[in-house]
Structure 1
């Protein structure tokens, strides 16, 4: 195999959780796959290796394709060993499988020996935890640092489990791509915020920010003593998570948001028990997704002050605009909410121009916040805030 400097740096890490932060063209994913293939060829006992990403289509276009390409290029591919139904490959008695985190059965299924989470900042902390606790030996995480994420918590001060790679770690990168990076550096020097962020993330492998995020926010350690709890928002799920946020207000324009619940597979009584365990939640309004009136009715029967949000044409944009009028503060413990804020963006057209439509993902907790804002914080004549709780 043609092994890069990136491969050699990756191979030296011996910690359980091995974090590879890489810029574009650094060969981080390719090198991890090479490492795993070599490991299988040398293994004296069967191993199960899971390659996981945000979705199966993402894997099919990326890491899974690279895996098969590497096997073919090195005369290790045998079509009989490739189970295209189960998305797995057998190599020297070892099984390499790949699946997206949307596959809940696999996410919470059988244990594995080794885990590789590809583009890990595109999955949430809960999904990673479910995968991690079912992994016996060690874990690779790779990602482009396009925004701040929960992964930083796994980077220890001694950096023994962390490698940062750039295109300079890939000796086999084409000259044309290298020239594109050099051109981007020149554009960044002109003062363009877009190109500065691009160069930071994709050339130097530094932390940046997703282009086109909908909300800006500030992180705080905890709920300030001088703010007032004003209610909560709840977005129902089952396969998707049930998402509950508590909302506090300070002055006229400061909103403090605290994640209270983010968990899939909950039964109604478990939601009730969670709410009743919190004095604030059970005493003030909870504005809920109107799509599940039967759950709202059950909450109300349990004396929980729940009500349905009133939706309508344009209500998503209205809710977003209401929240954008406030200064948003988010507690550092609200990890899933922070993930959504960092990834909830405007749709783009084929030319990369932003559209006035938000993407329909990374929005469970943010929908819950929006329901509350539409019902309790709107000053517009849109009837979203007319249905009050009646005890």
Structure 2
């Protein structure tokens, strides 16, 4: 209610629109005059909200302005920016909504297009007053540079703005906004605790990372840029490909399914074309009921014809419901450490290829790390791991008995810790692991 009141007040003022928000970082971002603006911050700090509110401010301030809001993929855009826009903007401000083109027109003549940033050719003819980008680190630098040339609508204060969680120093966003800032740019930094609407239980969960994984906490909560130590998978850029380059047919298509509710339900769809294994699509959605899962997976099965769906065995009742619906669902092998090492070997051998459409999968590949606070053999940190679990279920269960994987090197498994003094040493654990994989070398 407070947010809607602020918007309605802005309609009355109309000349120079200013939003007064509880969070000063969000207020600074929304009301900035910078041509190029970045909201860099921790998870849950209200970045998407501020992007939508800035777009709305410009629409109200410049009647007739044409804006573009986008993300790397359409599913990400729907789940974040579009959803926030529909929840935030009062229906009384909207004149039309064209669902086929994902275009909203306000009653004052301003319009907002929602588009994925997967193809630069889609934007070459646009004349825009503003552009907003969800998760700026996800898009290619060439897309960003091309978007800058689209800011050419007359009689408006042009603005290209975006939000992102921090990434590595090598990312182009760091170079353009921090290391060597482009002219007219500004950065607003925020942390998770800045958002007054976050539940205390969520903040408490984040605070545990301060002890268990301080580097991850530094990036994802405090919003600090830099490389993460202990990243489990090193997925090269050469193994992240455009959807148009994927094979047209596959020998077989399988899927891994990790159930959730408050955490997302995640499904990884894998096309097998020996010797490569292509992650071609994903499902990533919160608050899916069992009937929702059955309906969604059934639709995907019609499209892909899975030979098997490897599911989280912790929910046997859902697996049974999927089977009753005629789906090839089975319980997955859930050995976490061995499964991770198996997938790691496949990644290192260049045999796992990921479509750029799999946004959440790629994001988790880059942030899936070992729990530094573990006192036993290392386990991954249980945060933003839903796609990684789904992938592990599929690969480890379906492929471990039939695929030749590279020998696990000493550097790959040197982090194994003995549980107690009388247990085997790390070297013994390595030897045992090698024996298990020997028949596939």
TM-score normalized by the length of structure 1: 0.53
Aligned equivalents of 2:54 and 2:128: distance in 1?
17
Q: What secondary structure sits across from 2:129 in the alignment?
A: strand
Q: Which residue of 2 aligns with 1:70?
A: 88
Structure 2 residue 142 is matched with structure 1 residue 126: yes
Aligned equivalents of 1:312 and 1:351: distance in 2?
21
Q: Which residue of 2 aligns with 1:49?
A: 67
Shift of 1:343: 6.4
Q: Which residue of 1 aligns with 2:202?
A: 177
Shift of 1:319: 9.0
Structure 2 residue 274 is matched with structure 1 residue 313: yes
TM-score normalized by the length of structure 2: 0.48
Q: What secondary structure sits across from 1:49 in the alignment?
A: strand
Shift of 1:139: 0.5
Equivalence map 1:137-216=2 (5 Å): 137-147=158-168, 148-156=170-178, 161-188=186-213, 196-209=214-227, 211-215=231-235
Quickly say closer, same or farther: Cα 1:214–1:8, change in 2 above 3 A: same
Query: If each structure's strand is expressed as a fraction of its own residues, which one has the higher value?
Result: 1
Contact 1:213–1:344 at 8 Å: present in 2 too? no
Aligned equivalents of 2:48 and 2:273: distance in 1?
44
**1:47-83 deviation line (CA, Å, top 9, x unaligned):** 01100101111111111110111013xx5454x5211
Shift of 1:85: 1.4
Shift of 1:213: 3.5
Q: Which residue of 2 aligns with 1:352?
A: 389
Aligned equivalents of 2:215 and 2:73: distance in 1?
26
Q: Which residue of 1 aligns with 2:416?
A: none
Q: Which residue of 1 aligns with 2:26?
A: 7
Quickly say closer, same or farther: Cα 1:236–1:94, change in 2 above 3 A: closer
Contact 1:111–1:134 at 8 Å: present in 2 too? yes
Q: What secondary structure sits across from 1:155 in the alignment?
A: helix
Aligned equivalents of 2:167 and 2:143: distance in 1?
19
Aligned equivalents of 2:78 and 2:235: distance in 1?
31
Among 37, 43, 61, the residue aligned to 1:18: 37
Quickly say closer, same or farther: Cα 1:76–1:32, change in 2 above 3 A: farther
Structure 2 residue 104 is matched with structure 1 residue 85: no
Query: If each structure's helix is expressed as a fraction of its own residues, which one has the higher value?
Result: 2
Quickly say closer, same or farther: Cα 1:90–1:187, change in 2 above 3 A: same
Contact 1:107–1:127 at 8 Å: present in 2 too? no
Contact 2:68–2:128 at 8 Å: present in 1 too? yes
Among 89, 93, 110, the residue aligned to 2:126: 110
Contact 2:65–2:109 at 8 Å: present in 1 too? yes
Aligned equivalents of 1:100 and 1:203: distance in 2?
27
Aligned equivalents of 1:114 and 1:31: distance in 2?
14
Contact 1:18–1:140 at 8 Å: present in 2 too? yes
Quickly say closer, same or farther: Cα 1:66–1:113, change in 2 above 3 A: same
Q: Which has the higher contact order (CA 8 A, sep 6+)?
A: 1
Q: What secondary structure sits across from 1:62 in the alignment?
A: helix
Q: Where in structure 2 are there 5+ consecutive unaligned residues?
A: 4-20, 153-157, 250-271, 278-342, 352-361, 369-384, 397-441
* Count of residue pairs the alignment pairs up: 251
Contact 2:364–2:388 at 8 Å: present in 1 too? no
Q: What secondary structure sits across from 2:55 in the alignment?
A: helix
Q: Where in structure 1 are there 5+ consecutive unaligned residues?
A: 189-195, 218-232, 242-288, 292-310, 325-341, 359-391
